[in-house]
C-alpha cells in the first residue's frame, strides 16, 4: 500500500440493529477513519454541521461515493475517542430500516475502506482500550440476551461494575499480602515472618472468594433459570411429564422402558419464573451400553440441578429401583411425584423412602390432572431457592469466572491450612502460590488474557455489538 492510500483496515463497520425490515436501521463504524469515511458518504443538510460536531445528531443525505447517487436520508452522530463506546472514533448512522438501503450503505462504507466488523468487535475494542473490563464485556451480551426482567437486572449489575469491584477488592488484598511476604523475603535477616499475622488476611481473602462463589449461584439462577431434573426409573412417565410441563410434544414417550437415551433440556416459564427442565434417561441396573451413557449424563445433569422431580409410577408397586433413584437425589431439593394417577394405585413392595410431609404430588402426566399442583410446588421451590441464594441483591460471575475463582480459592485454602497447621511452607513458595491465585483472579477481569480465550468469549456476541 502506498502513502497516498492510507490503510483503513483498523476501521470496522457493521449493521448494529437486527437484520430485517424495521422503522430505522443503524450502521456503526469504529476506528481512526470512521469520521473521514463519514465525510465521504454523508452530506449534512446544514453547512454548520459540516464538521460533524461531537455527539450531535446531524441530518443529511447518504450518498454512494462511487457515483454520487443518493442512497437515503438520515441522521449521523460522530463520537470522538476516547469518549466513545470503543474508546476510538465512533460513528452511528441511522437510516430507514430497509435491508436494501442498509446493505447498499454498508457496501458504500466498505468501498471507502472500512472492514466488516467481526462478532462482538466493538465491545472487544472497548475491552482492549480499557473502557470495559472482561466481566463488563461479558455482561453486555447477557444484557442483550436476557429473557426475564430479573436476568436483565443481573446483567445490568455486572455492567455497572458491581461484580468487578468485588473481584478487584480481593486482587488488592492478595497483592498486599504478597507484598508483605516479599518484604519479609528481602529483609529476612531483619524481619521475622510471623505466620499468625498471615492467618487473618489469608483467611479473609478465602471468605471473600467463597462469598463470590455464593453470589454467583444466585447470579446464575437469575440469568439462566432454576435447573430442574426429572428423575426416575424407566417407563414411569418422565418424558410424558416433560412434554406436559412444556406444553409441547417435545420428547418421544413410549410403553417401552429405556426410550429416552439422552438428557434433553428446555426452558419453561412457570408462574413467571424461568426454569430449565431436563428430561433424563431412566435410572436402572444393568443398562445396555447406550443407556449406560444416558444414565451417566443423567447423573451429570443432576449434579448441577437445583431441583429434582423424583417420578414414580403409582400404578406399579414401589420397588428398590425407585428408592435408588431417590437416593441419587440426596443432595438436591427433591419433590417426589406420583404419576399415572388415572390408573388404579398399586401397593408398594417397599416403604416410601421420602418423608411423609410435605405429601408427594399426585399427577397424571397423560391427562394433565394434578399438573397445576405440581407447577405450584415447582414455583414455590424455585422461589425458596432464589431466596436462600440472596436473590434480591446479587449479581454473579459466569461459568468462566466461577472456575477461576474456584481455582484461586483452592490455592488460597491450601495455604491457609498450611499456615494454620503451624508448618507453613517457605515464604518463596507462599508468595509463588498466592501469585498464581492472583493470576487466576486477574484473568476474570481480563488482565493478561489469552487471545484464544477472547475469541471464544466474543464469539457469543452478535455482529454490530
Residues of this chain that bind Mg ion (CB under 5 A): 238-239, 259-260
All three cell numbers of 115: 472492514
- If binding is defined by CB under 6 A, does position 365 make contact with ligand GTP? yes
8 Å CB contact between 120 and 460: yes
Q: Which residues of 127-160 are buried (b: 16+ CB within 10 A; e: fewer)?
A: bebebbbbbbbbbbbbbeebebebbbebbebbbe
Rounded distance between C-alpha atoms, residue 163 and residue 170, angstroms: 11
Candidate segments 20-28, 232-240, 440-448, 453-461, binder of ligand GTP by CB under 6 A = 232-240
Partner from ligand GTP, Mg ion, none binding residue 124, C-beta < 5-8 Å depending on class: none
Intra-chain end-to-end CA distance of the chain, in Å: 30
Candidate segments 32-40, 186-194, 235-243, 399-407, binder of ligand GTP by CB under 6 A = 235-243
* Angle formed at CA 440 by CA 403 and CA 406, multiple of 5 degrees: 30
Listed as own residue / partner, the contacts of 80-85 with beta carbons closer than 8 Å and 24 or more positions apart are 80/35, 80/54, 81/129, 82/129, 82/131, 84/30, 85/30, 85/122, 85/126, 85/131
Residue from 96, 227, 238, 411 binding ligand GTP (CB under 6 A): 238
Count the neighbouring beta carbons within 10 Å of the beta carbon of residue 234.
18
Candidate segments 30-38, 126-134, 249-257, 388-396, binder of ligand GTP by CB under 6 A = 249-257
Residue from 49, 168, 319, 342 binding ligand GTP (CB under 6 A): 342
Candidate segments 63-71, 183-191, 257-265, 418-426, binder of ligand GTP by CB under 6 A = 257-265
Minimum distance from residue 363 beta carbon to Mg ion (Å): 16
Partner from ligand GTP, Mg ion, none binding residue 218, C-beta < 5-8 Å depending on class: none
All three cell numbers of 426: 517457605
- If binding is defined by CB under 6 A, does position 345 make contact with ligand GTP? no
- Cβ proximity to ligand GTP, 164 vs 305, nearer residue: 305
Alpha-helical runs (H) found in 67-148:
99-111, 121-128, 134-145
- Cβ proximity to ligand GTP, 313 vs 440, nearer residue: 313
One symbol per residue from 292 to 331: x for binding ligand GTP (CB under 6 A), - otherwise; what is it? ----------------------------------------
- Which residue number is nearest to ligand GTP in terms of Cβ? 282
Rounded distance between C-alpha atoms, residue 396 and residue 221, angstroms: 9
Minimum distance from residue 259 beta carbon to Mg ion (Å): 5
- Cβ proximity to ligand GTP, 86 vs 339, nearer residue: 339
- If binding is defined by CB under 6 A, does position 254 make contact with ligand GTP? yes
Residue from 84, 216, 218, 239 binding ligand GTP (CB under 6 A): 239
Rounded distance between C-alpha atoms, residue 61 and residue 15, angstroms: 18
Minimum distance from residue 425 beta carbon to ligand GTP (Å): 52
DSSP per residue, 154-196: HHHHHHTTHHHHHHHHHHHHHHHHHHHHHHHHHTTTT----HH
- If binding is defined by CB under 6 A, does position 337 make contact with ligand GTP? no
Minimum distance from residue 294 beta carbon to ligand GTP (Å): 9
Minimum distance from residue 332 beta carbon to ligand GTP (Å): 18
Partner from Mg ion, ligand GTP, none binding residue 208, C-beta < 5-8 Å depending on class: none
- If binding is defined by CB under 6 A, does position 206 make contact with ligand GTP? no
All three cell numbers of 452: 484464544
Identify the CA nearest to 463 among candidates 121, 82, 70, 7.
121
| Contact set for ligand GTP, span 269-288 (CB under 6 A) | 282
Rounded distance between C-alpha atoms, residue 257 and residue 283, angstroms: 10
- If binding is defined by CB under 6 A, does position 23 make contact with ligand GTP? no
- Cβ proximity to ligand GTP, 205 vs 278, nearer residue: 278
Rounded distance between C-alpha atoms, residue 162 and residue 304, angstroms: 26
- If binding is defined by CB under 6 A, does position 364 make contact with ligand GTP? yes
Helix (H) or strand (E) holding 268: strand 264-270
Minimum distance from residue 329 beta carbon to ligand GTP (Å): 15
Rounded distance between C-alpha atoms, residue 175 and residue 298, angstroms: 42
Partner from ligand GTP, Mg ion, none binding residue 258, C-beta < 5-8 Å depending on class: ligand GTP
8 Å CB contact between 230 and 246: no
For cell 463504524, what's the residue? 29
- If binding is defined by CB under 6 A, does position 236 make contact with ligand GTP? yes
- Which residue number is nearest to Mg ion in terms of Cβ? 260
Binding site for ligand GTP (CB under 6 A): 232, 234-240, 253-255, 257-260, 282, 339-340, 342-343, 364-366
Amino acid at each position: 500500500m502506498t502513502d497516498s492510500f492510507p490503510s483503513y483496515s483498523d476501521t470496522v463497520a457493521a449493521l448494529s440493529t437486527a437484520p430485517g425490515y424495521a422503522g430505522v436501521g443503524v450502521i456503526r463504524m469504529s476506528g481512526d477513519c470512521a469520521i473521514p469515511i463519514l465525510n465521504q458518504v454523508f452530506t449534512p443538510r446544514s453547512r454548520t454541521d459540516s464538521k460533524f460536531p461531537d455527539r450531535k445528531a446531524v441530518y443529511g443525505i447518504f450518498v454512494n461515493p462511487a457515483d454520487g447517487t443518493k442512497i437515503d436520508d438520515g441522521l449521523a452522530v460522530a463520537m470522538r475517542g476516547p469518549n466513545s463506546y470503543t474508546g476510538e472514533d465512533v460513528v452511528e448512522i441511522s437510516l430507514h430500516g430497509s435491508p436494501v438501503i442498509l446493505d447498499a450503505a454498508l457496501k458504500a462504507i466498505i468501498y471507502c475502506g472500512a472492514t466488516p466488523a467481526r462478532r462482538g468487535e466493538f465491545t472487544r475494542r472497548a475491552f482492549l482500550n480499557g473502557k470495559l473490563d472482561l466481566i463488563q464485556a461479558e455482561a453486555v451480551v447477557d444484557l442483550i440476551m436476557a429473557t426475564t426482567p430479573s436476568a436483565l437486572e443481573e446483567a445490568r449489575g455486572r455492567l455497572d461494575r458491581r461484580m468487578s469491584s468485588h473481584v478487584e477488592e480481593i486482587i488488592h488484598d492478595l497483592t498486599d499480602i504478597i507484598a508483605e511476604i516479599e518484604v519479609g523475603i528481602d529483609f529476612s535477616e531483619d524481619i521475622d515472618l510471623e505466620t499468625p499475622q498471615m492467618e487473618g488476611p489469608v483467611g479473609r481473602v478465602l471468605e471473600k472468594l467463597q462469598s463470590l462463589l455464593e453470589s454467583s449461584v444466585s447470579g446464575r439462577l437469575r440469568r439462566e433459570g432454576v435447573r430442574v431434573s426429572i428423575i426416575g426409573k424407566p417407563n414411569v412417565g418422565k418424558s410424558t411429564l416433560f412434554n406436559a410441563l412444556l406444553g409441547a410434544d417435545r420428547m418421544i414417550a413410549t410403553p417401552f422402558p429405556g426410550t429416552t437415551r439422552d438428557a434433553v433440556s428446555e426452558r419453561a416459564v412457570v408462574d413467571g419464573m424461568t426454569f430449565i427442565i431436563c428430561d433424563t434417561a431412566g435410572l436402572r441396573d444393568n443398562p445396555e451400553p447406550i443407556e449406560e451413557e444416558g444414565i451417566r449424563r443423567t447423573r451429570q445433569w443432576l449434579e448441577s440441578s437445583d431441583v429434582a422431580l423424583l417420578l414414580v409410577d403409582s400404578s406399579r408397586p414401589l420397588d428398590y429401583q425407585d428408592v435408588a433413584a431417590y437416593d441419587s437425589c440426596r443432595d438436591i431439593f427433591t419433590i417426589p411425584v406420583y404419576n399415572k394417577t388415572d390408573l388404579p394405585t398399586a401397593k408398594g413392595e417397599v416403604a416410601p423412602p421420602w418423608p411423609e410431609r410435605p405429601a408427594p404430588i399426585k399427577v397424571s402426566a397423560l391427562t394433565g390432572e394434578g399438573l397445576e399442583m405440581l407447577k405450584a410446588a415447582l414455583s414455590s421451590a424455585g422461589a425458596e431457592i432464589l431466596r436462600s441464594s440472596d436473590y434480591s441483591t446479587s449479581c454473579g460471575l459466569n461459568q468462566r469466572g466461577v472456575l477461576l475463582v474456584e481455582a484461586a480459592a483452592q490455592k488460597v485454602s491450601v495455604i491457609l491450612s498450611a499456615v494454620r497447621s503451624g508448618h507453613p511452607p517457605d515464604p518463596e513458595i507462599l508468595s509463588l502460590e498466592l501469585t498464581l491465585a492472583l493470576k487466576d483472579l486477574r484473568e476474570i477481569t481480563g488482565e493478561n488474557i489469552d487471545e484464544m480465550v477472547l475469541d471464544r468469549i466474543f464469539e457469543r456476541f452478535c455482529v454490530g455489538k
